[in-house]
Amino acid sequence: MSRKNQILTPVGAATGLFVLAALAVFCACISILGVKLGNAPVMPWEQLIPLGAYLAGVPLALVWLKLSGWKGDAGLVGAVFLLCGIGLAIQFRMGSFAQGLAKPSALMPFPLGLAAFVIGATLTGKGRGSWLAGAGWLAYLAALGVLAAMLLLGQRYRGGIYLPGNMNPSEIVKPLLVLFLAAYLSRRQKAFSETQNGIPVPPLHALLGLVLLWSVPMLLTIALKDLGLMVLLNAILIVMLFAIARSTGYLALGLAAVAAAGFGVRFISAHAQARFDVWLNPFADPTGKGWQILQALSAMYSGGLWGAGLGSGVPQSVPIVSSDFVYAAVAEEIGLIGCVLLLMVYAALFSRGFRAAGAARTPFERLLCVGLTGALGVQTILNVAGVTKALPMTGITLPLISHGGSSLITTLLVAGLIAGISDRK
């Protein structure tokens, strides 16, 4: 093992993985191009800019990692780049770049995301990450500021809230609150680790403090009616509490809370109630409320085991397929086999993220890494569960693959932070 490590530096291994990823993405694009050219002989080559940026930009990022002496988890970085590549190919397939240079807002997120990745990796690399603990309160205030701004300026569109310019700044709230929680909880590790018979019993003042601080962003998300965000943030909180206390009691508590909240939320919001009902019985209103999920499932059924082939399916029949329901398009075109491979890569990413967290030096870094990885993991699970009807839809995007600039940039920043923490010296 040590021998192999000497031959293959982490950056070298990551480069190897990127080459394999790029080959897979290249095949995907050839397949998509084939169908597109078969349908219409002319196509704007500008659509390929993001894929060019992928082939050119990722090596640049790897060079930067090499120069900065990064020695983190190569598999983690490889997984991030493979998922990004597949995401770009799918978005190319869905026509998200169809307007070419006329719509730079579709082309820019990936290059910006790569920059965010490099910045993230540099911020936390070489065990430098602990200084971020000082920014905990700042992050908390910034998160509240963003939520408040959305409440004041945001415009509702398809159940989500967007700031002018179609930005969805709620994405940045997640890493900001993770940073705050990591800083806050790591200083109170002892208090939150106290258990009796496996049931966590943190001292009252610590608990009250956390509840008070946490209730502010929760109230804001309720005011925003962004239930997906609320569910996600609470899941992250539970994962982080579990990580600090190492007590399964927090997980049990969390599950109970989720069940209670899921039941209770039906009485608060008609929107949530509708999603819940559709989940229970989509066939009650197949052409109305059940239409999207049933079309998504139909797309999957049509894909079968091997898929229709990239570019050869008809995922457009699923409403807003390129963002929340992108997984349905993926499942239709690369089949269940492809989905197994894809989720394997996600699982590897989370697994390596948690392992990197365990290896981190300071409790703060450990918690930060657990929180960030948990955020990506919970997001992935909630999205896939929603599209496959395992759980009600939460309106959460699939990290790195769904359409959406803010989401891609933030996710790559988070991935960069995790990759940096994995390099502990």
Partner 1 sequence: MLEHLMELLNGELGPDLLRAMKVIFLAFLTVAALAILFAPAVKPGKTSYGLLRVIFTASLAAMLCYQATWQLLGFTKPDFVKFMRRYNKRPNASEIQVTRGPLLDRRGMVLAAPVPGDMWGRRYPLGEAAVHPLGYYHSKYGITAVERVCDPTLSGYALDQRDEALGKAIFAQRASEGEAVTLTLDLRLQQKAYDLLEGRKGAVVVMRPRSGELLALVSSPGFDPLAPEAAIADEESTPAFNRAVQGRYPPGSTFKILIAGTAIDKGLAPVYSCPGMGYVAGPNTPPIRDSEYYAYARQGAAWPGWGRMNLKDAMAHSSNVYFAQLGIACGPDAFNDMMARARINAPLTYLKAAGGDLQCAGGNAPEVSKKRALALLSIGQGEVLVTPLHVACFTAAVAADGRMMRPRLSKKTPVAEESRLFSDATAAQLKLMLRDVVVRGTGKGANVPELAVCGKTGTAQAPGGDDHAWFTCFAPYRHPNIVVTVLIEHGGYGAKSALPVARELLVEADRLGYVRRAEEVHP
Q: Which one of the spans 137-145, 220-228, 263-271, 298-306 is the region binding partner 1 (CB under 8 A)?
A: 298-306
Q: Of 286, 288, 319, 320, which one interacts with partner 1 (CB under 8 A)?
A: 286
For 116-185, the DSSP string reads HHHHHHHHHGGGGGGGGGGGHHHHHHHHHHHHHHHHHH-EEETTEEEBTTTB-THHHHHHHHHHHHHHHH
Angle at the Cα of 117 from the Cα atoms of 120 and 10, rounded to 5 degrees: 90
**401: part of which helix (H) or strand (E)?**
none
Q: Which one of the spans 36-44, 92-100, 132-140, 185-193 is the region binding partner 1 (CB under 8 A)?
A: 36-44
Q: Taking CB under 8 A as the rule, does residue 112 contact partner 1? A: no
Q: Which one of the spans 6-14, 197-205, 224-232, 261-269 is the region binding partner 1 (CB under 8 A)?
A: 6-14
Strand 195-196 to 160-162 pairing: unpaired
Q: Which one of the spans 26-34, 118-126, 210-218, 407-415 is the region binding partner 1 (CB under 8 A)?
A: 26-34
**365: part of which helix (H) or strand (E)?**
helix 363-387
Length of the chain: 425
Residue 119's SS3 state is helix
Q: Return the amino acid letter for 28.
A: A
Minimum gap (Å) between residue 219 Cβ and partner 1: 28
Q: Which one of the spans 20-28, 100-108, 123-131, 220-228 is the region binding partner 1 (CB under 8 A)?
A: 20-28
Minimum gap (Å) between residue 325 Cβ and partner 1: 13
The answer to whether 57 and 115 have CB atoms below 8 angstroms apart is no
Residues 322-381 that bind partner 1 (CB under 8 A): 331, 334-348, 350-352, 354-360, 370, 374, 377, 380-381
Residues 404-423 that bind partner 1 (CB under 8 A): 422
Minimum gap (Å) between residue 209 Cβ and partner 1: 25
Residues 71-110 that bind partner 1 (CB under 8 A): 72-75, 78-79, 82, 86
Minimum gap (Å) between residue 126 Cβ and partner 1: 13
Question: How far is residue 255's CA from residue 235's CA, in Å, rounded to a whole number?
Answer: 9
H runs (alpha helix) in 269-290: 270-280
Angle at the Cα of 53 from the Cα atoms of 48 and 54, rounded to 5 degrees: 95
H runs (alpha helix) in 194-247: 204-224, 227-245
Given the complex with partner 1, which of 140 and 354 has the nearer CB atom?
354
Q: Of 114, 182, 241, 308, which one interacts with partner 1 (CB under 8 A)?
A: 308
Residues 160-199 that bind partner 1 (CB under 8 A): none
* Burial label, 254 (beta-carbon count in 10 A; 0-12, 13-18, 19+): middle
Q: Of 8, 98, 142, 148, which one interacts with partner 1 (CB under 8 A)?
A: 8
The answer to whether 117 and 68 have CB atoms below 8 angstroms apart is no
Which distant-in-sequence residues (6+ apart) come within 8 Å of 145 by Cβ? none
Minimum gap (Å) between residue 177 Cβ and partner 1: 19
Contacts with partner 1 by CB under 8 A: the residue count is 98
Q: Of 69, 95, 288, 304, which one interacts with partner 1 (CB under 8 A)?
A: 304
Minimum gap (Å) between residue 226 Cβ and partner 1: 23
Q: Which one of the spans 50-58, 90-98, 211-219, 313-321 is the region binding partner 1 (CB under 8 A)?
A: 313-321
The answer to whether 169 and 146 have CB atoms below 8 angstroms apart is yes
From 413, 407, 415, select the one nearest 166 (Cα to Cα): 407
Residues 243-272 that bind partner 1 (CB under 8 A): 243, 246, 248, 251
